[in-house]
Amino acid sequence: MTVNKKYHAFSLSNYETIPQISRLNPEDKEAIEVVGRVLPFKTNNYVTDELIDWNNIPDDPIFTLNFPRREMLLRKQYNEVLRLINSGSSEEFLKNKINEIRMDLNPNPAGQEYNVPTLGDIKLHGIQHKYRETVLFFPAKGQTCHAYCTFCFRWPQFSGMNNLKFSMREADLFFKYLKTKPKVTDVLFTGGDPLTMTAHALIAYIEPLLEKEFNHIRTIRLGTKSLAYWPYRFLTDKDSGELLTLFEKVIKSGKNLTIQAHFNHPVELSTETVKLAIAKIRSTGVQIRTQSPLLRKINDHPDIWAEMWRKQVDLNCIPYYMFVARDTGSKYFFELPLERCWQIYKKAYSKVSGTCRTVRGPSMSTNAGKVQVLGIAEINEEKHFVMRFLQGRNPDWIGIPFFAKYDPAATWFDQLKPSFGEEKFFFEYDDQGYNSSK
Ligand SMILES: *Cc1c(COP(=O)(O)O)cnc(C)c1O
Ligand code: SF4
């Protein structure tokens, strides 16, 4: 039996009350105060008590996953914010300056605004529909998380940058939209973390999808990091019973319910609480598929991934995606060359059995689609990246191998050039592509 833990969040205003905080030296604390002004900071008592190894800070992977560190901003940006804080400037002035710095951090990567569909002349700001079969929904009440990842590409969702926020209160428009899209088979609730919502709120979005008019929706997915950040969500939270009953109801209706679980490090799979939570979810018939970006200083070693995938399969989860960290926020801290990403994937993949090899990666979520780096090929004594789309705005692009000039320093797709003297990549000649999901 697990103990009943009461959720307690820590942020900039109360982090000094974290019991282990005396382990931090003054420089680490200054970094929290400075970087935490620009990028959102939040952790909780499960993470601080059960996941972080306080003998290993600041390099502990889970500490790095939640706590702002000095190197997460460029030195120039860091010094500017520090100077502003110390100058006694007004809150208003500080806020404007900080927003300017945020705008320099590419707050909305990969042209997500192109994914926002319309219904008649209404723009549906809480929906993204990029790939034909799958609609993303951002319920307004689920736009927070049980803790914030320092690398998160959705960070403007939590920073009060409302003009950049995707979210929607009205379920009606969402249902109306889905009725007009018979090719959509999957709905993915995302955020933020939709499992920060009450079961009651979630039921209002999910139960209507079980009606006959939504027969085309076969799989409902919940994108969540609750298993890693707050597994009590499925065990002892006040409405955890209600949540599991909802899960059972979806499965009984004949649809799939899948948790797209976000795990970054094997430590997150090691506590009794997370193991119990996974078993509980699986007992309802809900599937769990896992994903994570590759992150320097958190999981940049093949052994970490091999261990993570093995543990996941042991616990009855299906490894699904390995992503390249997005080019946003504190990217300089976390980014790895594409070549290194591919090497980590290849080495980890070759260490595990076929049951773990359901995972696909390393994959970049670009404006055009999810691009997988398949490897590096030598052709006529010249090196090239070999790539393919795992997902594309135009489904016809998927699976076609294509080449980019080898570049050992490249960390993201937009730094790559087509091979063999081509001017553009093959899909860039396709001006139909950007509308194909609609
Ligand atoms: C990844 C992603 C999906 C889901 O893709 P699957 O390959 O079906 O898991 C849907 N929409 C967007 C915008 C995505 O980035
Ligand atoms: S749980 Fe997901 S949405 Fe929330 S901060 Fe982490 S990466 Fe971002």
Instruction: Count how many domains the chain has.
Output: 2
Contact 178, 137 (CB under 8 A): no
DSSP alpha helices (H): ranges in 146-198?
Answer: 171-179
| C-alpha–C-alpha distance, residues 138 and 385, integer Å | 35
Average pLDDT estimate for 232-236:
97
Q: What is the pLDDT of residue 438?
A: 45
* 311 CA from centroid of ligand 2 (Å): 22
- Among the bound ligands, name the one nearest to the CA of residue 137: 1
Last residue of some domain: 103, 130, 151?
103
pLDDT of 288 over the 90 cut: yes
Q: What is the pLDDT of residue 433?
A: 52
Residue 126 shares a structural domain with residue 155: yes
Q: How confident is the model at residue 164 (pLDDT cuts 50, 70, 90)?
A: low
* 186 CA from centroid of ligand 1 (Å): 10
Of all atoms in ligand 1, which is nearest to the CA of residue 260? 9
Of all atoms in ligand 2, which is nearest to the CA of residue 148? 5
Last residue of some domain: 352, 386, 415?
352
* Range(s) of the domain holding residue 264: 113-352
Residue 280 shares a structural domain with residue 302: yes
Residue 75 shares a structural domain with residue 129: no
Contact 393, 131 (CB under 8 A): yes
User: Domain for residue 196, yes or no?
Assistant: yes
Q: What is the pLDDT of residue 432?
A: 57
Nearest CA to ligand 2 atom 1: 225
**pLDDT > 90: what percent of the chain?**
82
User: Cβ-count burial of 130 within 10 angstroms (0-12 exposed, 13-18 middle, 19+ buried)?
Assistant: buried
- Answer with the residue of higher pLDDT: 387 or 436: 387
User: Domain for residue 169, yes or no?
Assistant: yes
* 322 CA from centroid of ligand 2 (Å): 15
Last residue of some domain: 103, 133, 154?
103
User: Domain for residue 231, yes or no?
Assistant: yes
Of all atoms in ligand 2, which is nearest to the CA of residue 158? 5
Residue 73 shares a structural domain with residue 141: no
pTM, entire model: 0.94
Q: What is the pLDDT of residue 89?
A: 85
* Average pLDDT value for the chain: 93
Closest by alpha carbon to 347, among 297, 307, 390? 307
Closest by alpha carbon to 159, among 144, 174, 170? 144
Residue 30 shares a structural domain with residue 175: no
Average pLDDT estimate for 136-150:
93
User: Domain for residue 45, yes or no?
Assistant: yes
Q: What is the pLDDT of residue 436?
A: 41
Contact 308, 355 (CB under 8 A): no
User: Domain for residue 194, yes or no?
Assistant: yes
Residue 21 shares a structural domain with residue 151: no
| C-alpha–C-alpha distance, residues 36 and 12, integer Å | 7
Cβ of 367 less than 6 Å from ligand 1? no
When mean pLDDT is compared over 77-91, 97-111, 223-237, 325-339, the highest value belongs to 223-237
pLDDT tens, residue by residue, 36-68: 999 999 999 999 999 999 999 999 999 999 999
If you compute the radius of gyration of the chain from its CA atoms, what whole number of angstroms results? 22
Q: How confident is the model at residue 2 (pLDDT cuts 50, 70, 90)?
A: low
Q: What is the pLDDT of residue 332?
A: 87
Residue 305 shares a structural domain with residue 330: yes
Closest by alpha carbon to 372, among 406, 393, 345, 347? 345
Contacts made by residues 57-63, CB under 8 angstroms, sequence distance 24+: 57/23, 57/24, 57/28, 58/24, 58/28, 59/297, 61/264, 61/265, 61/267, 61/297, 61/298, 61/299, 62/265, 62/267, 62/268
pLDDT tens, residue by residue, 82-96: 999 999 888 898 889
Cβ of 131 less than 6 Å from ligand 1? yes
Of all atoms in ligand 1, which is nearest to the CA of residue 130? 13
**pLDDT > 70: what percent of the chain?**
94
* 89 CA from centroid of ligand 2 (Å): 31
Residue 262 shares a structural domain with residue 135: yes
Ligand 2 pocket mutation, candidates 72, 193, 265, 323, criterion most atoms within 8 A of CB:
193
* 153 CA from centroid of ligand 2 (Å): 8
* 353 CA from centroid of ligand 1 (Å): 26
Residue 119 shares a structural domain with residue 250: yes
| C-alpha–C-alpha distance, residues 177 and 373, integer Å | 34
Task: Say which CATH number the domain at 261 has.
Answer: 3.20.20.70
